Amino acid sequence: KKRLKKGIFKKTLMPDTSSARMYVQNLQDTLSQIRLLPTPANENFHSVLNLYDGKVSYISFKNGTFISTIIQDSEMYAMQRFLFESQWRSAIDLQAQG
């Protein structure tokens, strides 16, 4: 809610699953854009990568356990940003498809 109130735009990559497709179709957040990545059916991710303000944040959550790390390093941020943007360009954009 704070992000929306401040007008901060967010890009999200998610595995292409039926639940992710449903989430995108029901999205009401006009400041978020989500694209889907083809992912093998046996891949289950229980983690999140966030990039913001020159920082890289990793959050892992599985079986009720949360672990997080924030790295503030311009080189790691630049590398992760490059990898994200590379994946972003090749990901499925359901929002553009209507």
74: tokens are: 């311009």
Considering only 30-39, 61-70, 73-82, which range has the smallest mean pLDDT?
30-39
Under the banding of pLDDT at 50, 70 and 90, the label for residue 66 is very high
Beta bridge partners of 20: none
Beta bridge partners of 67: 60
Say whether pLDDT at 9 is over 80.
Answer: yes
Say whether pLDDT at 54 is over 90.
Answer: yes
Between CA 25 and CA 78 the distance in angstroms is 31
Under the banding of pLDDT at 50, 70 and 90, the label for residue 1 is confident
Query: Exposed/middle/buried for 46, CB within 10 Å: 0-12, 13-18, 19+?
Result: exposed
Give pLDDT, residue 45. Answer: 77
